[in-house]
Amino acid sequence: MPVAIFDLDNTLITNDSDFMWNEYLVEHNLVDPLAYEEKNRQFYEDYQQGTLDINSYLRFSLQPLTQFPLEQLHQWRAEFVQQMIKPLVAPGTPALLEQHRQRGDTLLIISATNLFITEPIAQLLEVPHILSTVPEIKQGRYTGDFIGTPTFQQGKVTVLQDWLQEHDLDLDGSSFYSDSHNDLPLLELVEYPVAVNPDQILLARAEELQWPVLDLRK
Protein backbone atom coordinates (compact mmCIF):
# COMPACT_ATOMS: atom_id res chain seq x y z
CA MET A 1 0.00 0.00 0.00
CA PRO A 2 1.59 3.32 -1.06
CA VAL A 3 2.21 5.92 1.63
CA ALA A 4 1.19 9.54 0.99
CA ILE A 5 3.34 11.69 3.28
CA PHE A 6 2.65 15.34 4.03
CA ASP A 7 4.59 18.07 5.73
CA LEU A 8 2.23 20.21 7.82
CA ASP A 9 3.37 23.79 8.23
CA ASN A 10 3.11 26.00 5.14
CA THR A 11 2.06 22.89 3.23
CA LEU A 12 -1.32 21.61 4.41
CA ILE A 13 -1.82 24.81 6.39
CA THR A 14 -0.79 28.28 5.28
CA ASN A 15 1.37 29.22 8.26
CA ASP A 16 3.68 27.57 10.79
CA SER A 17 1.72 25.99 13.65
CA ASP A 18 4.74 25.95 15.98
CA PHE A 19 5.34 29.66 15.43
CA MET A 20 1.62 30.37 15.81
CA TRP A 21 1.41 28.45 19.11
CA ASN A 22 4.26 30.55 20.46
CA GLU A 23 2.42 33.67 19.30
CA TYR A 24 -0.68 32.38 21.13
CA LEU A 25 1.37 32.07 24.33
CA VAL A 26 2.61 35.63 23.90
CA GLU A 27 -0.85 37.07 23.16
CA HIS A 28 -2.29 35.45 26.27
CA ASN A 29 0.63 36.51 28.48
CA LEU A 30 1.51 32.91 29.29
CA VAL A 31 5.18 33.69 28.69
CA ASP A 32 7.33 36.82 28.95
CA PRO A 33 5.98 38.60 25.85
CA LEU A 34 8.96 40.64 24.66
CA ALA A 35 11.73 38.13 25.29
CA TYR A 36 9.75 35.13 24.07
CA GLU A 37 8.50 36.75 20.87
CA GLU A 38 12.00 37.92 19.94
CA LYS A 39 13.44 34.42 20.39
CA ASN A 40 10.51 32.87 18.54
CA ARG A 41 11.10 35.07 15.51
CA GLN A 42 14.85 34.42 15.53
CA PHE A 43 14.36 30.66 15.63
CA TYR A 44 11.85 30.90 12.77
CA GLU A 45 14.34 32.85 10.67
CA ASP A 46 16.97 30.20 11.41
CA TYR A 47 14.52 27.53 10.24
CA GLN A 48 13.84 29.37 7.00
CA GLN A 49 17.57 29.72 6.37
CA GLY A 50 18.26 26.05 7.13
CA THR A 51 20.47 26.87 10.13
CA LEU A 52 18.11 25.97 12.98
CA ASP A 53 19.68 24.27 16.00
CA ILE A 54 16.80 21.89 16.60
CA ASN A 55 17.88 20.89 20.11
CA SER A 56 18.08 24.53 21.24
CA TYR A 57 14.75 25.27 19.64
CA LEU A 58 13.05 22.31 21.30
CA ARG A 59 14.34 23.38 24.72
CA PHE A 60 12.83 26.81 24.04
CA SER A 61 9.49 25.63 22.67
CA LEU A 62 8.85 22.83 25.17
CA GLN A 63 9.75 24.81 28.29
CA PRO A 64 6.36 26.59 28.60
CA LEU A 65 4.59 23.22 28.67
CA THR A 66 6.32 22.46 31.97
CA GLN A 67 4.63 25.41 33.69
CA PHE A 68 1.00 24.27 33.52
CA PRO A 69 -1.14 21.17 34.22
CA LEU A 70 -2.03 18.97 31.25
CA GLU A 71 -5.74 19.72 31.55
CA GLN A 72 -5.16 23.46 31.26
CA LEU A 73 -2.74 23.02 28.36
CA HIS A 74 -5.26 20.90 26.49
CA GLN A 75 -7.95 23.53 26.97
CA TRP A 76 -5.70 26.24 25.56
CA ARG A 77 -4.62 23.96 22.72
CA ALA A 78 -8.22 23.22 21.70
CA GLU A 79 -8.94 26.95 21.59
CA PHE A 80 -5.74 27.55 19.61
CA VAL A 81 -6.60 24.94 16.98
CA GLN A 82 -10.18 26.16 16.61
CA GLN A 83 -9.40 29.87 16.48
CA MET A 84 -5.95 30.05 14.86
CA ILE A 85 -5.33 26.83 12.91
CA LYS A 86 -8.68 25.85 11.43
CA PRO A 87 -8.86 29.06 9.34
CA LEU A 88 -5.35 28.34 8.01
CA VAL A 89 -6.14 25.01 6.34
CA ALA A 90 -5.07 25.59 2.73
CA PRO A 91 -8.02 25.66 0.31
CA GLY A 92 -6.57 22.80 -1.73
CA THR A 93 -5.78 20.57 1.23
CA PRO A 94 -9.11 18.71 1.67
CA ALA A 95 -9.26 17.70 -2.01
CA LEU A 96 -5.63 16.54 -2.03
CA LEU A 97 -6.11 14.40 1.06
CA GLU A 98 -9.33 12.94 -0.33
CA GLN A 99 -7.61 12.12 -3.60
CA HIS A 100 -5.09 9.97 -1.75
CA ARG A 101 -7.81 8.37 0.38
CA GLN A 102 -9.67 7.38 -2.77
CA ARG A 103 -6.50 5.78 -4.12
CA GLY A 104 -6.26 3.66 -0.99
CA ASP A 105 -2.99 5.26 0.15
CA THR A 106 -1.89 5.33 3.78
CA LEU A 107 -1.95 8.99 4.85
CA LEU A 108 0.80 10.27 7.13
CA ILE A 109 1.81 13.72 8.35
CA ILE A 110 5.44 14.17 9.34
CA SER A 111 6.37 17.46 10.96
CA ALA A 112 9.26 19.04 12.83
CA THR A 113 6.65 20.68 15.08
CA ASN A 114 6.20 18.75 18.31
CA LEU A 115 3.36 16.29 18.85
CA PHE A 116 1.56 18.42 21.46
CA ILE A 117 0.74 20.86 18.66
CA THR A 118 0.45 18.59 15.63
CA GLU A 119 -1.69 15.76 17.01
CA PRO A 120 -4.99 17.71 17.15
CA ILE A 121 -4.24 19.27 13.76
CA ALA A 122 -3.86 15.81 12.21
CA GLN A 123 -7.22 14.93 13.80
CA LEU A 124 -8.74 18.10 12.33
CA LEU A 125 -7.50 17.08 8.87
CA GLU A 126 -8.61 13.47 9.43
CA VAL A 127 -5.12 12.14 8.75
CA PRO A 128 -4.77 8.94 10.80
CA HIS A 129 -0.98 8.84 11.22
CA ILE A 130 1.32 11.56 12.56
CA LEU A 131 5.07 11.58 13.17
CA SER A 132 6.37 14.51 15.19
CA THR A 133 8.97 15.15 17.85
CA VAL A 134 7.57 13.59 21.03
CA PRO A 135 7.63 15.73 24.20
CA GLU A 136 8.45 13.79 27.36
CA ILE A 137 5.82 13.46 30.09
CA LYS A 138 6.62 12.22 33.59
CA GLN A 139 4.20 12.00 36.49
CA GLY A 140 1.51 13.72 34.46
CA ARG A 141 3.52 16.81 33.47
CA TYR A 142 5.74 17.79 30.58
CA THR A 143 9.43 17.78 31.48
CA GLY A 144 10.70 20.13 28.75
CA ASP A 145 12.68 17.28 27.19
CA PHE A 146 11.80 15.11 24.20
CA ILE A 147 11.90 11.41 23.38
CA GLY A 148 13.80 9.89 20.47
CA THR A 149 14.93 11.61 17.29
CA PRO A 150 13.57 15.07 16.41
CA THR A 151 11.61 14.90 13.15
CA PHE A 152 13.70 17.58 11.44
CA GLN A 153 15.77 17.37 8.23
CA GLN A 154 17.50 13.95 8.17
CA GLY A 155 15.67 13.09 11.39
CA LYS A 156 12.44 12.83 9.39
CA VAL A 157 14.01 10.07 7.32
CA THR A 158 15.23 8.21 10.41
CA VAL A 159 11.88 8.34 12.20
CA LEU A 160 9.93 7.49 9.03
CA GLN A 161 12.07 4.44 8.30
CA ASP A 162 11.47 3.13 11.82
CA TRP A 163 7.72 3.75 11.41
CA LEU A 164 7.62 1.96 8.05
CA GLN A 165 9.33 -1.06 9.54
CA GLU A 166 6.91 -1.14 12.48
CA HIS A 167 3.93 -1.03 10.11
CA ASP A 168 5.37 -3.46 7.54
CA LEU A 169 5.31 -0.78 4.83
CA ASP A 170 7.85 0.58 2.37
CA LEU A 171 8.29 3.59 0.09
CA ASP A 172 7.24 1.87 -3.15
CA GLY A 173 4.84 4.25 -4.85
CA SER A 174 5.22 6.77 -2.02
CA SER A 175 4.77 10.53 -2.33
CA PHE A 176 5.85 13.42 -0.12
CA TYR A 177 4.52 16.97 -0.20
CA SER A 178 6.53 19.79 1.36
CA ASP A 179 7.24 23.50 1.13
CA SER A 180 10.70 23.55 2.69
CA HIS A 181 14.26 22.86 1.61
CA ASN A 182 14.76 21.44 5.12
CA ASP A 183 12.80 18.44 3.82
CA LEU A 184 15.08 17.69 0.87
CA PRO A 185 16.50 14.51 2.50
CA LEU A 186 13.00 12.97 2.49
CA LEU A 187 11.87 14.51 -0.80
CA GLU A 188 14.87 12.92 -2.51
CA LEU A 189 14.01 9.54 -1.00
CA VAL A 190 10.38 9.08 -2.05
CA GLU A 191 9.19 8.01 -5.49
CA TYR A 192 6.94 11.03 -6.08
CA PRO A 193 8.25 14.24 -4.46
CA VAL A 194 6.03 17.32 -4.76
CA ALA A 195 7.02 20.88 -3.87
CA VAL A 196 4.07 22.76 -2.34
CA ASN A 197 4.31 26.55 -2.31
CA PRO A 198 8.08 26.01 -2.07
CA ASP A 199 10.71 28.33 -0.67
CA GLN A 200 13.31 29.55 -3.16
CA ILE A 201 15.88 26.83 -2.43
CA LEU A 202 13.33 24.05 -2.80
CA LEU A 203 11.83 25.65 -5.91
CA ALA A 204 15.25 25.71 -7.58
CA ARG A 205 15.81 22.05 -6.71
CA ALA A 206 12.33 21.07 -7.91
CA GLU A 207 12.89 22.82 -11.24
CA GLU A 208 16.30 21.18 -11.60
CA LEU A 209 14.87 17.69 -11.00
CA GLN A 210 11.54 18.40 -12.74
CA TRP A 211 9.44 17.72 -9.65
CA PRO A 212 5.80 18.86 -9.71
CA VAL A 213 5.18 22.21 -8.02
CA LEU A 214 1.77 22.57 -6.40
CA ASP A 215 -0.10 25.58 -4.99
CA LEU A 216 -2.62 24.51 -2.34
CA ARG A 217 -3.44 28.11 -1.44
CA LYS A 218 -5.60 28.66 -4.51
Number of domains in the chain: 1
CA pair distance 137, 131, nearest whole angstrom: 17
Decide if 7 is catalytic: yes
Collapsed DSSP state (helix, strand, coil) of residue 79: helix
199: containing domain: 3-214
C-alpha 82: how far from its chain's center?
17
C-alpha 179: how far from its chain's center?
11
Radius of gyration of the chain (CA): 17
Amino acid at 8: L
Rounded to 5°, the CA angle 116-17-48 comes to 120
Rounded to 5°, the CA angle 34-40-44 comes to 150
Return the CATH number at 112: 3.40.50.1000
- β-partners of residue 134 are 147
Decide if 179 is catalytic: no
Tens place of pLDDT for every residue, the chain, 218 residues? 899 999 999 999 999 999 999 999 999 999 988 888 888 889 889 988 889 999 999 999 999 999 999 999 999 999 999 999 999 999 999 999 999 999 999 999 999 999 999 999 999 999 999 999 999 999 999 999 999 999 999 999 999 999 999 999 999 999 999 999 999 999 999 999 999 999 999 999 999 999 999 999 98
CA pair distance 205, 93, nearest whole angstrom: 23
